[in-house]
């Protein structure tokens, strides 16, 4: 059996469906973090994941300054990292929640992504280091993310944009739902291949065995963060299960076509629009979960990253114009191509140390 036949047998339709550059990225990730590692101790998983993230880190843009601090909340300190563009006043603050299945990740694992968001949008980025499972079951991560949002809302008058990737997308949406009636609600949210608590839908069937995230992986991470008796209908656990979608801020949802979670984005967009809100969903064609790390090596991923930056900038600039839910909601699908989009004081936390973007 030739190499191509072996790959086809291993990955089925994905062997020829995905671009060669994307396969190079997938192979690099699996070399660091193979699927079988989920059976290893959590500490080992985290160490390997963090090493992988460091290997993909291209360095920060030189004009981004970074400072670390803490937010005090109910007797605990939540570590945060603030990114600012040197010599430029921010027009908005993006509160960012990292991915990692609620089990992995920290301020360092997504440091490069936050720094690039800052450099490209000019917005201040505030990354939150929430508590992780299984040591801290739900609602610990949600409570930390909510506390960081509320602290930002209380200490700055700038517009706040919620942003999260994968597990962080779940947390961003949960915070948006919890704070939508507050005096200081989010100006918008950007959810990047979020896990929102769906269990059915086209992508759950078509891409149950997709590279880098399978249906069994999703089920594992849901179980590991669940407290005894956890209800999937709890909107702080599964935002898609909320019974009320009114009052939510303008929302951009970006998913990958070859990802079982993509239908979560589609369903979430539909619920917001049905409730009279503004939401826009884009399924990025022929990409897989975690594609942001491939932004520098895979053209499709780089283009998607640029669109995400435009979404963040648009919301940060206060552009809340209604987005048509009927046309162009899903790139690469017969019912419509992607629509063009318009890119568009100091916080009082305790500074621990300061880094320049060149470090």
Residues catalogued as catalytic = 166, 259, 289
Buried b (16+ CB within 10 A) or exposed e, 82-105: bbbbeeeebbbbbbbbbbbbbbbb
Identify the bridge partners of residue 44 per DSSP, sorted by sequence position: none
Q: Please tell me the distance from the alpha carbon of residue 303 to that of residue 331, in angstroms, as a whole number.
A: 12
d(CA 30, CA 335): 34
CA 15, 98, 292, 110 torsion-angle sign: negative
With tokens 């979608």, the residue in question is 245
What's the burial of 302, exposed, middle or buried (CB within 10 Å: 0-12/13-18/19+)?
Answer: middle
Q: How many helices (H) and strands (E) does the chain have?
A: 11, 9
């Amino acid at each position: 059996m030739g190499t191509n036949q072996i790959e086809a047998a291993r990955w089925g339709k994905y062997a020829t469906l995905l671009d060669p550059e994307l396969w190079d990225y997938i192979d690099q990730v699996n070399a660091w973090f193979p699927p079988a590692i989920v059976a290893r101790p959590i500490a080992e998983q985290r160490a390997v994941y963090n090493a992988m993230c460091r290997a993909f880190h291209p360095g920060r843009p030189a004009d981004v300054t970074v400072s670390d601090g803490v937010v005090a909340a109910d007797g605990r300190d939540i570590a945060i990292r603030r990114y600012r563009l040197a010599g430029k006043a921010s027009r908005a603050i993006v509160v960012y929640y990292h991915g990692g299945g609620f089990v992995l990740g920290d301020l360092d694992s997504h440091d490069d992504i936050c720094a690039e968001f800052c450099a490209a949008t000019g917005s201040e980025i505030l990354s939150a280091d929430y508590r992780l499972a299984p040591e801290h079951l739900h609602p610990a991560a949600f409570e930390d993310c909510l506390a960081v949002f509320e602290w930002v809302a209380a200490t700055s008058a700038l517009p706040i944009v919620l942003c999260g990737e994968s597990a962080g997308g779940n947390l961003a949406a949960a915070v948006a739902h919890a704070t939508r009636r507050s005096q200081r609600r989010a100006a918008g949210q950007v959810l990047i291949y979020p896990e929102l608590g769906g269990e059915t839908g086209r992508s759950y069937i078509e891409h149950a065995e997709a590279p880098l995230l399978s249906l069994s992986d999703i089920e594992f991470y849901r179980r590991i963060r669940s407290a005894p008796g956890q209800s999937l209908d709890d909107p702080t656990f599964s935002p898609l299960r909320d019974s009320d979608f009114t009052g939510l801020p303008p929302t951009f949802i970006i998913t990958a076509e070859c990802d079982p979670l993509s239908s979560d984005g589609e369903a979430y967009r539909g619920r917001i629009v049905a409730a009279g809100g503004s939401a826009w969903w884009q399924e990025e064609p022929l990409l897989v979960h975690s594609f942001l790390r491939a932004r520098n090596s895979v053209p499709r991923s780089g283009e998607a990253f640029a669109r995400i930056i435009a979404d963040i900038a648009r919301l940060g600039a206060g552009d809340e114009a209604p987005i048509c839910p009927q046309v162009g909601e899903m790139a690469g699908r017969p019912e419509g191509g992607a629509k063009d989009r318009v890119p568009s004081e100091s916080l009082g936390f305790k500074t621990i140390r300061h880094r320049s973007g060149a470090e």
